[in-house]
Each structure stands twice: as C-alpha cells, then as structure tokens.
Amino acid sequence: MRNNAIVKTKLLVYCSLSITQRKLFVMKYAVTFFSIILLMLSMGTIGQEKKPISNETFLQQSEIDGINGVALGIFAQKKVVDKHLRKYSILAHNDQVKVNNKLLLLAGKKNVSLPNILADPSLLKEIPVDMDMQFSSDETPDRVKNIFDVSYVKMMIEDYQNSVKFYESSLNTTDPDIKNHIHECLPVFRKNLQYAIRFTQQVVLARE
C-alpha cells in the first residue's frame, strides 16, 4: 500500500508540472536508474582512483535535482495536510530555490548553459513566509496521518539522500568554484534530510 501511494504521489507531482519540468522529472529518475547500473558495472574498479567530475556534468545533474526539488515543494503546497510538514516543505522549497540561484550564477561563470532553469521563473522564486509558517528546528512534528503526506516525506528523504551522495562524490572536482559550491550546499541538504527523517519517526498510515 505504501509503495502504491508513493507511485501515485509521483504521478500527481508529474501531472502538476509544466512540459519542461515533466521532461526533467522523468530524466531525474532515469538518471537514478542508470546510475545504479553504472555503479554495479564499476564494482570491479573499486580501489582505482575516480576520475574528477566535469563542470558540465555536475552543473547539469544539479539542474535536474534542483527542478525536482522545487516541483516537490509546489506539490506539497497543494496536497500536504499536516501543518508542521507544510511548514517544513516551504523551508525545503526555499532552500532549494537559493541553491538554484547559486547554481545559475555558477553555471554562467563556467559558461555552461542551464536552459531549463532559465525557462521557468518559478524555479528561482521563493515562497513568501509569515511568522506563523516559519519552521523551527525545535518543533516536534505531529503524527502524520494523510497518505500523501507520508509519500511526500519518503520522496524528500530519497531525493536528499541522492543529493548528498552526488555532492559528496563530486568533491573530487579540480575546480575550486565547484568545490566551494558543494561545501556551501551540502550542509543545507544534510539539514533538510535530518528534518525529513524526523517526520518518519512520527509517520503512520491512515487506516481505511
């Protein structure tokens, strides 16, 4: 039942996107699948020095992750029920927007085109937050009962785990600007990952 809910949630996210965002959403999960295949094929090369990631590869993969992160934030504002989780989703969304803006500036400096981010202004726009909707790290999340809330949390954990792994594996870059960007963004991803994990300690599926 949980897996079906997660699949349904991903379909709802997909349907809420623009055509450009849909292409990137599909591409993200295709990239995840092929990354697993490549990892399996590379098992025989463990112990060998890993080739530094190119600037273009890093920036383009980060663009895909950034678009997906904003898409989940937009979905959460429409579907998430729990108040604490909605507040968290705004925090995560706005953090991702900040990363996207930094990424765009970095790409310009490296002469790498990120046309998908440029084509959609919503990917660079934060959600306004009043005092009542500011998420505090001291908050104790309520028990999340809505099945889409559960699915959203699981998707956020999956995405942040992938982002952390990708950024950590990219620290072998020889470009100091890329490395500085990674060091700036990794703490943000790790922080929001830990916040998302806290919700799983409270999550229960609604009984029908």
Model confidence over 145-179: pLDDT tens digits?
A: 678 888 899 899 999 999 999 999 999 999 999 99
- Mean pLDDT, residues 107-133: 88
Mean pLDDT, the chain, whole residue set: 78
Give helix 176-200 / helix 83-109 axis angle, nearest 10°.
170
SS3 content of the chain, % helix, strand, coil (to 5): 75, 0, 25
Cα Rg of the chain (Å, integer): 17
Q: What is the pLDDT of residue 126?
A: 93
Q: Tally Cβ neighbours within 10 Å of residue 95.
A: 18
Is 1.20.1260.10 the CATH number for 2-200?
yes
Output 67 or 202, whichever has higher pLDDT: 67
Structure confidence by residue, pLDDT tens digits, 43-69: 444 445 678 999 999 999 999 999 999
SS3 189: helix
Structure confidence by residue, pLDDT tens digits, 4-29: 444 445 555 555 555 555 555 555 54
Half-sphere exposure of 88 (CA within 13 A, CB side): 27
